[in-house]
Amino acid sequence: MRTKYRSSRRLSVDFRQMTIGAVFVMGSLLLVPEAFGQSGAISGSPSQCTIPAGLTNCTSDISWTSTGTTAVQVWVQLNGGTPSLFAQTGSNGSSNATWIGPLPSNSYIFYLYDYSSGSLGSQLASVLITGQYGISLTYGNSARPNISPSFVVGDAWALSVTGAGPYASIAIAWTNVATGAHLGPYTAGLTNSSGSYSGTPVTVVSGNIGRWTGQWTVGGEFAGSPISMQVIPLPHELSVGTPATAFNCSYPNNTPYGVVARVNWLVEDSGGVNIHDYEVPLVPLQIIFGSTYTNPSPDVNYGDITGFDDGPFGVGYCSTGPISSFTYGESIRFAIGGFAGATDVRSNTWTVTSTSPNHGTITNSIDVAESN
């Protein structure tokens, strides 16, 4: 005789939080819960911390949360090396990482793992944490700030760094725009124990002539914006030539007497090479004429003429009356980037004679040598 039993109790299972497994028992399919669903999150505040000047580390607060766990472990891996245990807590937790070093030599990944079973389980989340200095770098032309970061040979460059690590190497790598050749990196110096640097200005030499791009690094970290600059030779000789016969004063000034000469110039370095061969346009080079007359006073003074190219330009003297003779003096100045120093001045003297309308002769003297 068989007796049937019926239970009034019901088993209620919330399968939304479970992972279901299938097992065959005596020809039947039995569904069993394998484990509660697990998830987690981990973060750093900040994810990139700023290292104070003169120090070597900064701090990031690492915090984590998880669901479906009773215990977790956090491991940290430096630069792809062997991970090490950072913390073990319940489902949630936080801890300060006080030893975050600077990029590019230090990169930390924190991993969150389930540890509910007492052994390392599945990875739930990860986060990348880095450190960086707040470096400030200034570099420029201390002799002619108005054309910085470009230079004329003989100018000096100055470099200043703050906010870096102690005894950090300061270096720059250059690329020649014309040839594509890469030079350096060249080391300019080391920061002090406070992470600062202020070196003695360095003179730019002729071997640096050309167009360049460059990038500074401090402690291996990019510092400052990329540099696009040019080095040109100091203008050394100014050759000024005029035609044998002067131009007719009746054009464009409608004055019948005197001479207007058409002036051409060529600016060369100490080796006789035209400055324009060095692609001067990046560093403006102006030629400024200052005119003087000893006899007689002019009716038309052309004044200062500012040019960039090799000319020609009209300069000279015109009068409404006959001219017996007069001397025309001319002062010529180089202005590099709008700046003209004492060594930028040249001068020429022309002697002009005109006894009849629309006629004259002009003679150009030898250019005066550079004075320091």
Averaged pLDDT, 135-140: 94
Cα 194 to Cα 53: distance, rounded to the nearest angstrom = 6
What was the pLDDT predicted at 329?
Answer: 57
Averaged pLDDT, 249-253: 53
* Residue with the larger pLDDT of the pair 81 and 236: 81
What was the pLDDT predicted at 32?
Answer: 36
Averaged pLDDT, 218-239: 84
* Residue with the larger pLDDT of the pair 306 and 371: 306
Helix (H) or strand (E) holding 32: strand 28-36
pLDDT over threshold 60, residue 246: no
What was the pLDDT predicted at 31?
Answer: 40
What was the pLDDT predicted at 232?
Answer: 85
Residue 200 CB contacts under 8 Å (≥ 6 apart), including other chains: none
What was the pLDDT predicted at 29?
Answer: 39
| Banded pLDDT at 286 (limits 50, 70, 90) | low
Q: Would you state the torsion angle of the CA atoms of residues 284, 369, 350, 291, taken in this order, to the nearest 10 degrees?
A: 40
Kindly tell me the number of DSSP H helices and DSSP E strands found in the chain. 1, 28
Q: Mean pLDDT across the chain, nearest whole number?
A: 75
What was the pLDDT predicted at 348?
Answer: 53
| Banded pLDDT at 143 (limits 50, 70, 90) | confident
Task: Give the SS3 label for residue 194.
Answer: coil
Q: Give 315-361 pLDDT, tens digit per residue.
A: 566 666 666 555 555 556 666 765 555 555 555 555 555 555 555 55
| Banded pLDDT at 270 (limits 50, 70, 90) | confident
Q: Give 45-91 pLDDT, tens digit per residue.
A: 999 999 999 999 999 999 999 999 999 999 999 999 999 999 999 99
| Banded pLDDT at 218 (limits 50, 70, 90) | very high
Within the chain, what is the greatest distance between any pair of CA atoms?
156
Q: Please tell me the least confidently modeled range out of 207-216, 295-304, 317-326.
A: 295-304
Does the pTM surpass 0.75? The reply is no
| Banded pLDDT at 206 (limits 50, 70, 90) | confident
What was the pLDDT predicted at 113?
Answer: 97
Percent of the chain past pLDDT 90, that is, above it, reads 43
Walk me through the domains of the chain, giving residue ranges and CATH numbers: 39-133 (2.60.40.10), 136-232 (2.60.40.1930), 237-364 (2.60.40)
The closest of 349, 331, 348 to 340, measured between CA atoms, is 331
pLDDT over threshold 50, residue 309: no
pLDDT over threshold 70, residue 188: yes
Phi, psi dihedral angles at 261 (to 5 degrees) = -95, 145
Computed from CA positions of residues 243, 247, 253, 256, in that sequence, does the dihedral angle turn out positive or negative?
Answer: positive
Averaged pLDDT, 134-142: 93
Cα 217 to Cα 360: distance, rounded to the nearest angstrom = 63
pLDDT over threshold 50, residue 274: yes
Cα 354 to Cα 361: distance, rounded to the nearest angstrom = 7
